[in-house]
Chain A
Amino acid sequence: MGNIIKTIFVILVIPTLLSAIDIKHKDTTFSIGGRIQLENIFGWPEGSHSAKSIPLDSVGENGQLSMNARYSRIWVKAITPTEYGVARTLIETDFAGVKGTEVNTNSHGLRLRHAYTQVGNWTIGQTNSAFNAYVTLDILFTAIDDTFVRQPLVRYSYEGKNISYDISFEQPETTLIDSKGEIITPQDDVLPDIIARVIYYPEWGDVALSLMGRYIVQDHATLSDGTELNSKDTALGWATNFSTRVKTFGLDDIRLGIHYGVGMGRYLAYDAYAAGSISDTGEIKLQESYGANIGYRHRWNKKLRSTISFSYAGTDNNSDGMINLDKVNKNVHSSQINLLWIPIPHSLVGIEYADATRGVESGVESDIKMVNLLFRYDF
């Protein structure tokens, strides 16, 4: 009986205590928090809801149940008043690093998510890119066209009453697809990706627009078959990302995201598409990528809400002369619907159904259907 009480205490009370604890040292206030998250995902067939990993060769498979807590996380925040304004710092990790085996202990590795500080108008460290969509869909699986990158950066921000501006210098990483249909990373980048963003906060919702410029480089790169090139080539890429949320009836809203670019590459759909192609002689040719998502969120009441959404992403590969076209992602789309419940504050129980289709350059298309039952508690 004593053990049961202790277990209940650990599960219910400790997170509550942690959420209430601030540690003050001199002028700095430290806060400790985090998240416990359990995902229960059933997929038909086995696979993931990602533009580059929906399986193409799964005919006849009935699916798999997979449970994981690897996206649980812990963070430490610090706030210190300074002569330049409040200095705020965040270090955050989760357990989505090296994946453990499901056979015995499910020992997933720690992974750095955020490590950055904000002083005055400056942000320095690793965090979310300014190119990321400011408005995202309220769904459990991310939108299939998600524009999400987390990387080292230096950013200057200006906050107005209803508007904010950012100019961000972020880690570059060129990704190019070679004639074997493999995406390579030459690691020859010399200039940061530069992103300008404006966010407007009117009474009726939010609007954000980002514009990015990139310097794409290969300098004696190594192709996927091990060939070392004896050449250098460069190209200027650009991309734009628009997202908005418009309030409709009651607490409902409609959300929309549109992105387009030439050389957008890894910023769209978790690196499903390259920034461009690289020929066998090292010539770079950038490619167009694009995507959009739309979702309607309905609040049934204070504790229950639902979103129905559709998302799409695609690219125009320079596929002339390319082989292994089954590996070359062409487009993807997904429809999702969910029901999310807040049983107690800062908790979430949700169920979501997703039906996604992936197409590759060879013309093959494959479909995945997934259900995610999620339990989450933020402390």
Chain B
Amino acid sequence: MILKIVFTYITALFMLSGCMYKTELDIKELGHKKDVLELKSIMEEIDVVVYDNSKSELELDNVRRRYAINLAQKIKILTTKSKTISDDELKQTIAPENIGKFHKYMEELSKNGDAIYEVANNYELKKLDKKIDDMKQTCVSCHTNVRGY
């Protein structure tokens, strides 16, 4: 009887720890999805700045610059977060042979973010579209080649 209770208890603990482990992963996945949505949202905001009819060209550049710097900061947070995920954790969502590629893409994304910050900080906003396209390309490549979606 006691053995039965202990067995049930231990089984429950295992199940619970499993659930918690999955939940942590789920949270990280949800966190990534949230980050991606935030990046997309900022990029879409940048696209429609030109239609604000009440601002001068320099004011529009100020708005674009602010969004771009915000975008660069979000990328920095996302790439920094990725470095805190252990390979064991990554293996839960990424095939082991793709982990190296994942780190390479994150490094690339970090450089994309730095480039966006650089052009925004220097008001070289004509170069911004190209830098954002570079960043999008890195994201698409990572999702296609590493995550598989």
- List residues of A whose CB falls within 8 A of some B CB: 22, 31, 33, 75, 77, 79, 81, 86, 88, 90, 92, 113-114, 116, 118, 127-128, 132-133, 136, 138, 142, 148, 201, 251, 299, 302, 305, 340, 345-346, 348, 378
- List residues of B whose CB falls within 8 A of some A CB: 41, 44-45, 47-48, 50-59, 61, 66, 122-124, 126
- Which of B48, B50, B122, B126 is the one whose CB lies under 8 Å from A86? B122
* CB <8 Å contact, B44 and A92: no
- CB-defined contacts of A302 to chain B, threshold 8 Å: 44, 47
Provide 5 A-B residue pairs closer than 8 Å at the C-beta atoms, listed in order of the A residue.
A75-B57, A128-B56, A305-B48, A345-B47, A348-B51
Q: Decide yes or no: A22 and B126 within 8 Å by CB, A201-B66, A251-B41 being known contacts.
A: yes
Interface of A is mostly: strand
* CB <8 Å contact, A128 and B59: yes
Q: Which residue of B lies closest to A140 (CB)?
A: B53
Q: Decide yes or no: A133 and B54 within 8 Å by CB, A22-B126, A302-B44 being known contacts.
A: yes
Q: Which residue of B lies closest to A139 (CB)?
A: B53
* CB <8 Å contact, B123 and A88: yes
Q: Decide yes or no: A79 and B123 within 8 Å by CB, A136-B52, A138-B51, A201-B66 being known contacts.
A: yes
The 4 closest A-B pairs by CB, nearest first: A136-B54, A90-B58, A114-B56, A86-B123
* CB <8 Å contact, A118 and B44: no
Q: Decide yes or no: A92 and B56 within 8 Å by CB, A79-B123, A201-B66 being known contacts.
A: yes
- Which of B45, B50, B54, B58 is the one whose CB lies under 8 Å from A378? B50
Minimum Cβ distance to chain A for residue B81 (Å): 17
Q: Which residue of A lies closest to B65 (CB)?
A: A159
- CB-defined contacts of A127 to chain B, threshold 8 Å: 56, 58
Q: Which residue of B lies closest to A147 (CB)?
A: B54
- Which of A118, A299, A345 is the one whose CB lies under 8 Å from B58? A118
* CB <8 Å contact, B57 and A346: no
Q: CA–CA, A43 to B2, complex, Å?
A: 88
Q: CA–CA, A9 to B25, complex, Å?
A: 54
